């Protein structure tokens, strides 16, 4: 869509009808994600979390916090092929890094730094 391109956002973001969530609503979604990550296979909880992020694609705080949760949980659980999720999680960090909110930008930068430190690289990939 030309309008989305003009605004520098995806068509999903343009068409999103969900408004910004409150801190309490974000907390409830993250709490549910945490329970799901503990009780079901990672890939199923990841798919659910991804759906929530698509549903609330304009909520930068949720995007960052969910990415941090998913990133940490795949390390804790020692899931097979954790790098399968790298592209999506890093895309979330990249979106948060573009936020107008300095706190969200700083959180995203910190999360990306730690991600690459775990990988043993301080080089930023070209797609972020």
CA distance linking residue 90 with residue 62, whole number of Å: 14
Helix (H) or strand (E) holding 16: none
Q: Domain limits at 104?
A: 2-119
- The verdict on residue 125 lying in a domain is no
For residue 33, what pLDDT is reported? Answer: 98
Is pLDDT at 18 greater than 60 in this prediction? no
* Residue 118 binned pLDDT confidence (cut-offs 50, 70, 90): confident
- The verdict on residue 126 lying in a domain is no
- The verdict on residue 14 lying in a domain is yes
CA distance linking residue 101 with residue 122, whole number of Å: 24
For residue 75, what pLDDT is reported? Answer: 86
- The verdict on residue 115 lying in a domain is yes
The DSSP call for residue 56 is T
Is pLDDT at 11 greater than 80 in this prediction? no
- The verdict on residue 43 lying in a domain is yes
- The verdict on residue 86 lying in a domain is yes
Is pLDDT at 125 greater than 60 in this prediction? no
Residue range 54-64: mean pLDDT, rounded: 96
Q: What is the pLDDT of residues 75-101, one digit of tens each?
A: 898 898 989 999 999 999 999 999 999
- The verdict on residue 22 lying in a domain is yes
CA distance linking residue 41 with residue 49, whole number of Å: 13
Residue range 56-62: mean pLDDT, rounded: 95
For residue 21, what pLDDT is reported? Answer: 92
- For the chain, what is the domain count? 1
Residue range 99-112: mean pLDDT, rounded: 96
Burial class of residue 74, CB neighbours in 10 A (0-12, 13-18, 19+): buried
- The verdict on residue 127 lying in a domain is no
């Amino acid at each position: 869509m030309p309008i989305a391109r003009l605004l520098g956002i995806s068509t999903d973001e343009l068409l999103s009808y969900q408004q910004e969530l409150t801190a309490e609503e974000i907390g409830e979604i993250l709490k549910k994600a945490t329970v799901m990550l503990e009780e079901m296979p990672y890939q199923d909880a990841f798919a659910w979390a991804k759906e929530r992020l698509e549903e609330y694609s304009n909520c930068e705080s949720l995007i960052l916090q969910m990415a941090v949760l998913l990133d940490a949980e795949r390390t804790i659980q020692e899931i097979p092929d954790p790098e399968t999720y790298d592209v999506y999680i890093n895309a979330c960090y990249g979106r948060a890094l573009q936020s107008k909110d300095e706190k969200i930008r700083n959180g995203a930068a910190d999360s990306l730094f730690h991600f690459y430190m775990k990988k043993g690289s301080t080089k930023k990939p070209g797609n972020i």
